């Protein structure tokens, strides 16, 4: 199976999903508060396990009903106080709120409301952020910590509970409630809005959009197990939705936290609306991703690959930070359920063989056509740089023996690094190789051809036998290459730049 195989019908998904959300809103007959977890426009996990699913599929789907949609962004005041970070982007949640606003507005959506949840009088950073947002023209609502939430429904659904929260004035029929990350208070915000709407006689309802786990795929389907691997740090577990099974006799899948909280959520809805419109957590969802899988085997294979990526990512993080192997151990159990080990990932064995043969770090990449290209460590190049050049030559049809970067062109760069910039490592990193290749492309037709193939590396899988430095990590990420590494360093050091 090649890297370019497609297993998901993106166009069908956009059509069906936007229509289904409209149908749910029409059934409510008023405002639909749609809690959206996960990433709306950079969902790379979904694009990896469902080849054909584009990272911005969900926001593209919402664009179909854009005239009826507005966004409310929720952030927990505690996350502001502790300067919580988005690890994948390296920015604070405060910064991510502004980033989300920019992205949504660039796509033509209305965004004018921000909700600060779990506010107290001691939240100085949250108060400062609120003032900043107000100066920028936002309407900022404050939601307080409610004693007994959610375990005391009668108190929560009262003037002393939700009643003390500031009401979010919205104007559209579909209000998408999203946040920089988990634990921000999206559900509580939706329920608070239902309470205030009900007090005002405004018809409204709630639904939840979570891509994973996929409710109408089997519990042990690799796509659902890949979700377990992705949330191993939270110790999430997929489970049969026994509420749905009891109500409808239909086997569906949800995850432990939604199942655990459902009785309390149903009681809160009964307190607010008089009755709960839902008999199960599955009922609350509006996700049709499972109906848009066009090639199940392609998605199964992609999900297995993702589980291995997650294992290596966890193992590297644990080694780097000196942690016990808890997360990687959980993912290893998922791999056991799938009947695979790390060598199921196709570049792993070739990279290990390079290291065994040369007694130095090795790297391997699987190209879209299934070819495996390797790279070894030399005096001039690190293994990742050598592999990158070899892959570009292979894609451009250039003989492997041809040097598209001559040793003479590399030597001045090494001198600059070691003699003037204080580097101890004379070998060229991937960024330095690409710069040198770009310079050579001005006068060398073969270098030009090789450089033109960079776009064809996107989606390819790479494995290295030692942990990458941050520069190489960034280059591969920017190229869209999926990289894993053995959890060992090439050189033992106590201090390393991140």
Per-residue pLDDT, 235:
83
* Cα 339 → chain centroid: 25
Give the residue with greater pLDDT, 300 vs 423: 300
> DSSP state, 312?
H
Whole-angstrom distance, CA of residue 84 vs CA of residue 77: 10
Domain end position, chosen among 292, 308, 333: 292
pLDDT digits (tens, 9 = 90+) for 195-206: 999 999 999 999
Question: pLDDT at residue 186 above 90?
Answer: yes
426 has a pLDDT exceeding 90: no
User: What pLDDT band is residue 406 in, cutting at 50, 70 and 90?
Assistant: confident
Domain boundary among 292, 314, 334: 292
Assess whether 288 and 400 both reside in one domain. no
Whole-prediction pTM: 0.90
Question: What per-residue confidence (pLDDT) applies to 206?
Answer: 96
* pLDDT, tens digit, 9 for 90 and up, residues 222-249: 999 999 999 998 888 999 999 999 999 9
Q: Give the pLDDT confidence score for residue 45 in this predicted structure.
A: 93
Residue 311 within a domain: no
d(CA 308, CA 328): 10
* 368 and 476 both lie in a single domain: yes
Host domain of residue 397: 349-498
Quote the pLDDT of residue 4.
Answer: 60
pLDDT mean over 295-303: 98
Question: From CA 406, how far away is CA 391, in angstroms rounded?
Answer: 17
Question: Residues 218, 145: one domain?
Answer: yes
Statement to judge: residues 387 and 258 lie in one domain: no
Write down the residue that tokens 């309802």 correspond to: 205
Domain assignment of residue 320, yes or no: no
Q: What angle do CA 398, 403, 406 make, to 5 degrees?
A: 150
Q: Are 483 and 462 in contact (CB under 8 A)?
A: yes
381 and 283 both lie in a single domain: no
* 287 and 356 housed in the same domain: no
Domain boundary among 292, 317, 334: 292
Whether pLDDT at 213 is above 50 = yes
Q: Check if the beta carbon of residue 228 is closer than 8 Å to that of residue 56.
A: no
Per-residue pLDDT, 493: 56
- What is the number of alpha carbons within 13 Å of residue 448 lying toward its C-beta? 5
List beta partners, residue 419: none
* Domain contains 397: yes
pLDDT digits (tens, 9 = 90+) for 305-351: 999 999 999 999 999 999 999 999 999 999 999 999 999 999 999 99
Domain CATH number, residue 199: 3.10.630.10
**Number of Cβ atoms within 10 Å of the Cβ of 489:** 16
pLDDT in tens, 58-75: 999 999 999 999 999 999
Q: Are 70 and 230 in contact (CB under 8 A)?
A: no
Report the alpha-carbon distance of residue 48 to residue 320 in Å, rounded. 25
Query: Are 261 and 397 members of one domain?
Result: no
Res 492: pLDDT:
62
Is residue 312 situated within a structural domain?
Answer: no
Q: Kindly state whether residues 279 and 153 are assigned to the same domain.
A: yes
Domain count for the chain, please give it: 2
Mean pLDDT of 356-362: 97
Which of 439, 420, 417, 429 lies closest to 473 in space, CA to CA? 429
Provide the token pair at 378: 């030399």
* Same-domain pairing of 109 and 184: yes
**pLDDT surpassing 70 at residue 465:** yes
Give residue 405's pLDDT. 83
Residue 86: is it exposed, middle or buried by C-beta count within 10 angstroms (0-12/13-18/19+)? middle
At 9-49, the pLDDT tens digits run 999 999 999 999 999 999 999 999 999 987 888 889 999 99
Q: How far from chain centre, in Å, is Cα 426?
A: 35
User: Residues 6 or more apart from 417 whose CB is under 8 A from it?
Assistant: 423, 425, 426, 432
Q: Evaluate whether residue 215 is within a structural domain.
A: yes
- For residue 150, being part of any structural domain is answered with yes
Mean pLDDT of the chain: 93
Within this chain, do residues 285 and 375 fall inside the same structural domain, yes or no?
A: no
Contacts of 98 (CB under 8 A, 6+ apart): none
Assess whether pLDDT exceeds 90 at residue 416. no
Report which of 26, 10, 101, 15 is spatially closest to residue 64, judged by C-alpha positions. Answer: 15
Residue 463: name the closest of 441, 491, 485 by CA.
485
**Where residue 468 sits, what CATH number does that domain have?**
3.40.140.40
Bridge-based pairing of strands 139-144 and 174-178 is unpaired
Query: Where are the extended beta strands (E) located within 58-170?
Result: 69-76, 85-86, 91-92, 110-119, 139-144
Q: What percent of the chain has pLDDT over 90?
A: 82
User: Does residue 304 form part of some domain?
Assistant: no
Q: CA-to-CA distance for 448 and 127, rounded, in angstroms? A: 54
Strand ranges in 120-168 using DSSP code E only, listed in sequence order: 139-144
Going by C-beta distance under 8 Å and a sequence separation of 6 or more, which residues neighbour residue 248?
279, 280
Q: How confident is the model at residue 418 (pLDDT cuts 50, 70, 90)?
A: confident
Rounded to an integer, what distance in angstroms lies between the CA atom of residue 125 and that of residue 78? 9
Residue 498 has pLDDT above 60, yes or no: no
* pLDDT of the residue at 494: 41
**Could you tell me if 367 and 242 lie in one domain?**
no
Those residues whose C-beta lies under 8 Å from the C-beta of residue 462, and which sit 6 or more positions away, are 347, 363, 364, 365, 366, 384, 387, 476, 481, 482, 483, 484
Query: Does 334 fall in a domain?
Result: no
CB atoms within 10 A of CB 321: 7
pLDDT tens-place string over residues 117-151: 999 988 899 999 999 999 999 999 999 999 989 99
Provide the phi-psi class of 52: left if phi over 0, else alpha when psi is between -120 and 50, else beta: left
Asked if 403 and 275 sit in the same domain, the reply is no
């Amino acid at each position: 199976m090649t890297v370019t195989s497609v297993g998901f019908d993106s166009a069908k998904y956009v059509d069906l999903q936007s229509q289904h959300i409209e149908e749910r809103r029409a059934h409510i007959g008023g405002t639909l508060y749609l809690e959206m977890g996960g990433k709306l426009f950079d969902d790379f996990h979904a694009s990896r396990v469902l080849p054909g699913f584009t990272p911005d599929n969900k926001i593209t789907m919402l664009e179909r009903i854009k005239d009826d949609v507005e966004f409310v962004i929720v952030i927990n005041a505690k996350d502001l106080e502790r300067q919580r970070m988005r690890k994948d982007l390296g920015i604070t949640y405060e910064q991510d709120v502004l980033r989300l606003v920019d992205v949504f507005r660039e796509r033509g959506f209305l965004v004018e409301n921000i909700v600060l949840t779990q506010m107290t009088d001691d939240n100085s950073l949250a108060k400062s952020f609120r003032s900043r947002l107000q100066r920028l023209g936002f309407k900022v609502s404050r939601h307080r910590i409610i004693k007994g939430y959610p375990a005391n429904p009668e108190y929560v659904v009262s003037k002393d509970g939700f009643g003390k929260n500031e009401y979010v004035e919205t104007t559209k029929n579909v209000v998408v409630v999203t946040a920089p990350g988990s634990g921000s208070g999206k559900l509580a915000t939706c329920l608070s809005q239902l309470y205030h709407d009900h007090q005002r006689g405004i018809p409204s309802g709630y639904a939840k959009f979570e891509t994973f786990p996929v409710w109408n795929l089997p519990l042990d389907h690799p796509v659902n197990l890949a979700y377990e691997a992705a949330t191993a740090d939270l110790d999430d577990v997929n489970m049969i939705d026994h509420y749905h099974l009891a109500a409808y006799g239909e086997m569906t899948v949800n995850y432990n936290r939604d199942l655990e909280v459902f009785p309390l959520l149903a009681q809160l809805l009964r307190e607010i609306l008089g009755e709960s419109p839902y008999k199960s957590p599955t009922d609350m969802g509006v996700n049709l991703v499972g109906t848009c899988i066009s090639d199940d085997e392609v998605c199964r294979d992609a999900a297995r690959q993702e589980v291995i990526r997650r294992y290596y990512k966890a193992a590297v993080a644990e080694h780097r930070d000196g942690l016990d192997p808890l997360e990687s151990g959980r993912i290893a159990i998922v791999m056991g359920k799938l009947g695979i080990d790390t060598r199921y990932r196709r570049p792993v064995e070739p990279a290990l063989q390079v290291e065994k043969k040369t007694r130095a770090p090795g790297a391997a990449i699987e190209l879209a056509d299934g070819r495996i290209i390797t790279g070894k460590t030399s005096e001039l190049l690190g293994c990742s740089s050598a592999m990158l050049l070899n892959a570009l030559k292979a894609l451009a049809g250039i003989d492997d023996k041809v040097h598209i970067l001559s040793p003479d062109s590399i030597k001045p760069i090494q001198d600059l690094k070691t003699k003037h910039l204080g580097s101890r490592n004379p070998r060229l990193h991937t960024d330095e190789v690409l710069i040198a290749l770009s310079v050579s492309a001005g006068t060398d037709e073969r270098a030009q051809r090789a450089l033109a193939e960079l776009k064809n590396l996107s989606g390819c899988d790479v494995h290295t036998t030692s942990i990458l430095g941050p520069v190489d990590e960034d280059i591969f990420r920017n190229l869209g290459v999926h990289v894993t590494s053995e959890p060992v360093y090439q050189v033992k050091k106590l201090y390393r730049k991140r």
